[in-house]
Amino acid sequence: MIAPSILSADFARLADELAAVPTSDWIHVDVMDNHFVPNLTLGLPVVKSLLKVTDIPIDCHLMIEDPDRWAIGYAEAGAYNVTVHVEAANDPVALAKNLKAAGSKAGLSIKPGTPLEPYVEVLKHYDTLLVMSVEPGFGGQSFMADVLDKVRQARHLVDTGHLKLLVEIDGGINADTIEQAAQAGVDCFVAGSAVYDAADPGKAVEALRAQAAGAR
């Protein structure tokens, strides 16, 4: 699965930028609050607008403080998957249940320096694990290959039936890094500049998907 990140898109032309990647599996939307991460992007009003102009499922990645309070609004608005950070959530198990009750899938994200092991039981309540392969906050960063150990751990837990979720990765995914991420066991690849800096974003999505499928 390929999920273009609109963090790398032209914010003045978001409807057109979504239309340029029609075969995408998800559209990844980075919500940043300048508190949990040192950047400020967009929020619920923009997500609601995006939902009106595309049928592609919206994957909201909330890099915000107090997601227990704010995340539910994204699910209620119609986002397909709403991902919160385990480092920010007060009660991640209750939050997962509330997101699902509000109509979305529930995703849990971990920063590069956050280990997977303490959260395996928590992840039993989630539909998606988003492994960050850069420090959250800014697009265009270099891929951190050491996080693939966590991907391999998660893949093993899924394959052996201990977890039932999609393994997603976000940060520095491009033609040079997607194959090693696929080999480690990633299901869904978030790609920003690799898609939206391309001459043809739609073809870039197809090329990345083919690379990942070949590596798996």
Q: pLDDT by residue (tens digit) across 129-155?
A: 999 999 987 767 789 999 999 999 999
Is residue 198 a contact partner of residue 179, using CB atoms and an 8 Å limit?
no
Summarised one tens digit per residue, pLDDT across range 174-198 is 999 999 999 999 999 999 999 999 9
59 phi, psi to nearest 5 deg: -110, 100
163: tokens are: 């977890």
165-175 per-residue burial string, b: 16 or more CB within 10 A, e: under 16: bbbbbbbbbbe
30 in active site: yes
Summarised one tens digit per residue, pLDDT across range 8-45 is 999 999 999 999 999 999 999 999 999 999 889 999 99
Domain 2-215 adopts which CATH fold? TIM Barrel (3.20.20)
Given the residues 30, 59, 127, 187, select the one marked as catalytic.
30
Given the residues 25, 59, 127, 170, select the one marked as catalytic.
170
187 labelled as ligand-binding? no
Is residue 25 a contact partner of residue 210, using CB atoms and an 8 Å limit?
no
Whole-structure pTM value? 0.95
8 labelled as ligand-binding? no
193 labelled as ligand-binding? yes
25 labelled as ligand-binding? no
